[in-house]
Structure 1
Amino acid sequence: MKYSIIISFLLLTVCLTAFGQEKQSRKSKNPNSAAAEKGLIKVSVMYPFAEGKTFNMEYYETKHMPMVAGFLGSNLVKYTIEKGLASGIPNQPLPYMAVGTFYVKSLDEYQAAIAPNRDAIRADFANYTNVAPVILVSEVVR
């Protein structure tokens, strides 16, 4: 038990160190990337992992996200799609199966674009998942 805790701590330390080095190397390659995103609105749509829940990544990537992106028009700067692989803590369950993120210029324009399309967006959930997403709207500060 004592050794497994020590090994877990060492693995976490190695992962955090590696992440810090990757983050630093990306920063040095493109020092303006953070400045270019500062002030944008970030809409994160997170799909929690749970036993028996499903997620069709191909449909999400090729149909759902492009549909929503189309609703956002010129307000959309970019969007990303992430597939969950593991928890940040070894031997812990995966927190999210997937995360879709939209970066937009204006929260008001985002809400105005989504409101009339909300029912179509929600109806499409059944085509790729049986999970209710958690949505976080935030502002990029760095």
Structure 2
Amino acid sequence: MKFKLIATFLLFATCVTAFSQEKQAQKSEKGLIKISIMYPFAEGKTFNMEYYETKHMPMVAGYLGSNLVKYTIEKGLAAGMPNQALPYMAIGTFYVKSLSDYQSAIAPNRDAIRADFANYTNVSPVILVSEVVK
């Protein structure tokens, strides 16, 4: 009985800690600027995820410096509805503190960033800039 009580307490404590950490992460992201770089799927289009993950995204992240909070890389798997085409092959996302600082960092490096596209894809990305509200 004593072991079961201890195990139950540890499980409860773990759940409370995980919930608290998730709430803290949500609070810390509110107000951040999110730059989503989305690569649409189409027949005949290619995307080298290894290159994107190990070369391209770290290169761009380096340009952003201390303004960068984090970045993520997603690999498209399926559409939201069955029997629908995959909308995006990949999505790269940067979370930054300041849009103007992001733009200032990217502007002088725009040509280098665009030139690197040929190393991993033949797709023109769609870019969405948004603010995290929750």
Q: State the TM-score bracket (shorter-chain normalisation).
A: 0.7 to 0.9
Which residue does the alignment assign to 2:76? 84
- Greater Rg, structure 1 or structure 2? 2
Q: Verify: 1:75 aligned to 2:67, yes or no.
A: yes
Tell me the TM-score normalized by structure 2: 0.85
Which residue does the alignment assign to 2:49? 57
Q: Which amino acid aligns with 1:141?
A: V
Cα RMSD after superposing both structures: 1.2
Q: Which amino acid aligns with 1:71?
A: Y
User: Which of 116, 128, 131 is the aligned partner of 2:123?
Assistant: 131
Offset from partner CA, 1:80-101 (integer Å, 9 cap, x none): 0000000000110000000000
SS at match of 2:42: coil
Q: Verify: 1:43 aligned to 2:23, yes or no.
A: no
**In 1, distance between residues paired with 2:75 and 2:42?**
15
Structure 2 residue runs of 5 or longer lacking an equivalent are 1-17
**In 2, distance between residues paired with 1:56 and 1:28?**
37
Q: Which amino acid aligns with 2:74?
A: E
Percent identity of equivalent pairs: 81
Q: Which amino acid aligns with 1:135?
A: I
Aligned length: 117
Tell me the TM-score normalized by structure 1: 0.80
Regions of 4+ moved over 2 Å: 26-29
